[in-house]
C-alpha cells in the first residue's frame, strides 16, 4: 500500500505470498497501480500513477487489514469505490473504521449492521482527534492513511498502544509522526499532496512475520527433543508479546542476532522443548499478542495447571468467533476449556490430544491445532487445511520438513 502511494518505482523483497497479500495487490491494480506477481521468493516491483476509479467492486478476499486500511487511503481521494470480500469478511464489523472516517468527511455507506459491502466516496477531509474504545492498529492505521492522502492532521488515542508498523513506516518515509504513551499524532501531512504521489520511492526487505513464527516456536516447545532456529523474524515490540508469556510458562526463547531492517527490528529465535506451566495473560498484554492467542491456548492445553486469558473479547469478531471456537475445539480434543464473556480459561492435560477440530475456515485455528496434532500420541483431525493459505501457504510443508529433520537427528 505504501509503495502504491509512493512516487516512482518501489521494490519489496521477502514479501509473504499469502492470499491476503495477493488480495491487496489485486485491488491496488484495480486502482491503477502496476504490481508484478506476488510469489514466494519474488522481488515485487510497484509502479504507481494517480489512483483511478475502479471499473468494478474491490474484492478484498478474507483480509480485514486490506479492507480497513484501503478505506482510509480512499477516504482522502476523490474516488468512488465499493469494497467487498468473502463470506467471512462480510460478517466482520467495519463501523469502528467507517464512523471516524465519516467524522472526517468521507461519505461511506455499509450494509445493515455495519458490514461489507461498503460504498465510499472520498475527497476533502477535515482533521480529527479520535478516541478509540479499543486498541486497534487497523483503526489507527486507516485514520493515519486518511490523514496522509487528504493532507490533514490526525490524532488517535487508544486505551493501550497497539502495534505500530504503520507509524514506523511513515516515519521511515520521512513523515512527522509523534507518539506519547498510547497516543499517536500526525500533525500534518505536508509532504504528501493529494493530487500527486509524493511519498518517496523505496526498497525494502520485509522481515519474517512473528505471528507465523509463533506456530513454529510452539512446534519446537512441544517437541520431544532437538533445537529449532528461526531466522529473520520481525521483532516489533507490538507483535512479540507472546515471548514473555512463553517465558512465564517455562519456555524462554533465545533472541539472537538482533538488527534493524528498514523501519523494523529483526532477530533470529532459538527454541527448545520445555515443560510448561499455566499463567495469566492480562488485558494490557493482549494488543501485542492478539493473533497468538490460539497457539498460546493450545500450549496452555499441554501446561500444568490453569491458564487464564483476560480481555480477549476482540477474538469474537475475527475470521470466526475465534474465542468460542478455541474453547470448543480444545474440549473436542480432551482439554478442559471455557470461554466466558471476554475471558478464556484453559486447564492443561497430559493426555494425548484426540478428536475432530472445526477450523471454521480460520487459518490461525487450523495452524494452532495442527501443531497440537504433532505431539506424542495425538490424533487431531482438522475439518480443512486450505485456510492456512491466507497467511502462511507453506505451513504444512515447513511442519513436515521440521519433522523430517528431527527424525533424521534421532
**Active-site residue list:** 291
The backbone torsions φ and ψ at residue 360, rounded to the nearest 5 degrees and listed phi first, read 55, 25
Torsion of Cα atoms, 291 then 61 then 137 then 236, to 10°: 60
E-state strands within 183-253 = 183-186, 203-205, 228-234
Contact 154, 128 (CB under 8 A): yes
The rounded distance, in Å, linking the Cα atoms of 137 and 302 is 31
Q: In the Cβ-directed half-sphere of 265, how many Cα atoms lie within 13 Å?
A: 13
The rounded distance, in Å, linking the Cα atoms of 182 and 162 is 8
Torsion of Cα atoms, 125 then 170 then 59 then 390, to 10°: -150
Q: Can the peptide bond before residue 117 be classed as cis, meaning omega within 30 degrees of 0?
A: yes
Torsion of Cα atoms, 315 then 316 then 318 then 319, to 10°: 130
Amino acid at each position: 500500500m505504501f509503495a502504491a502511494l509512493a512516487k516512482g518505482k518501489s521494490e519489496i523483497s521477502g514479501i509473504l505470498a499469502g492470499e491476503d497479500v495477493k488480495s491487496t495487490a489485486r485491488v491496488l491494480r484495480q486502482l491503477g497501480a502496476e504490481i508484478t506477481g506476488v510469489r514466494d521468493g519474488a522481488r515485487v516491483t510497484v509502479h504507481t500513477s494517480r489512483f483511478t476509479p475502479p471499473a468494478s467492486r474491490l474484492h478484498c478476499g478474507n483480509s480485514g487489514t486490506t479492507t480497513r486500511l484501503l478505506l482510509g487511503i480512499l477516504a482522502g481521494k476523490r474516488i468512488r469505490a465499493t469494497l467487498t470480500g468473502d463470506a467471512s469478511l462480510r460478517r466482520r464489523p467495519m463501523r469502528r473504521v467507517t464512523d471516524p472516517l465519516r467524522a472526517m468527511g468521507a461519505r461511506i455507506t455499509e450494509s445493515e449492521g455495519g458490514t461489507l459491502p461498503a460504498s465510499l466516496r472520498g475527497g476533502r477531509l477535515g482533521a480529527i482527534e479520535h478516541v478509540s474504545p479499543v486498541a486497534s492498529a487497523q483503526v489507527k492505521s486507516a485514520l493515519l492513511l486518511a490523514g496522509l492522502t487528504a493532507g490533514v492532521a490526525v490524532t488517535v488515542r487508544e486505551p493501550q498502544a497497539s502495534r505500530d508498523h504503520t507509524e514506523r513506516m511513515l516515519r521511515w518515509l520521512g513523515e512527522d509522526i509523534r507518539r506519547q504513551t498510547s497516543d499517536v499524532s500526525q500533525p500534518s501531512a505536508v509532504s504528501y499532496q493529494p493530487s500527486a504521489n509524493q511519498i518517496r520511492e523505496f526498497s525494502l526487505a520485509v522481515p519474517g512475520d512473528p505471528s507465523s513464527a509463533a506456530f513454529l516456536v510452539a512446534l519446537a516447545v512441544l517437541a520431544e527433543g532437538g533445537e529449532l532456529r528461526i531466522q529473520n523474524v520481525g521483532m516489533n515490540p507490538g507483535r512479540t508479546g507472546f515471548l514473555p508469556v512463553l517465558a512465564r510458562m517455562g519456555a524462554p526463547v533465545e533472541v539472537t542476532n538482533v538488527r534493524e531492517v528498514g523501519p523494523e527490528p529483526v532477530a533470529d529465535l532459538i527454541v527448545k522443548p520445555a515443560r510448561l506451566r499455566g499463567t495469566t495473560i492480562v488485558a494490557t498484554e493482549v494488543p501485542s499478542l492478539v493473533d497468538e492467542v490460539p497457539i498460546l491456548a493450545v500450549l496452555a492445553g499441554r501446561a500444568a495447571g490453569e491458564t487464564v486469558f483476560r480481555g480477549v473479547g476482540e477474538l469474537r469478531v475475527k475470521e470466526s468467533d475465534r474465542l468460542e471456537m478455541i474453547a470448543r475445539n480444545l474440549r473436542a480434543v480432551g482439554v478442559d476449556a471455557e470461554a466466558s464473556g471476554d475471558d478464556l480459561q484453559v486447564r492443561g492435560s497430559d493426555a494425548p490430544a484426540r478428536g475432530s477440530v472445526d477450523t471454521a475456515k480460520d487459518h490461525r485455528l487450523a495452524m494452532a491445532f495442527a501443531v497440537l496434532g504433532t505431539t506424542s500420541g495425538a490424533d487431531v483431525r482438522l475439518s480443512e487445511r486450505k485456510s492456512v493459505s491466507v497467511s502462511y501457504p507453506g505451513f504444512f510443508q515447513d511442519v513436515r520438513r521440521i519433522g523430517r529433520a528431527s527424525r533424521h537427528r534421532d
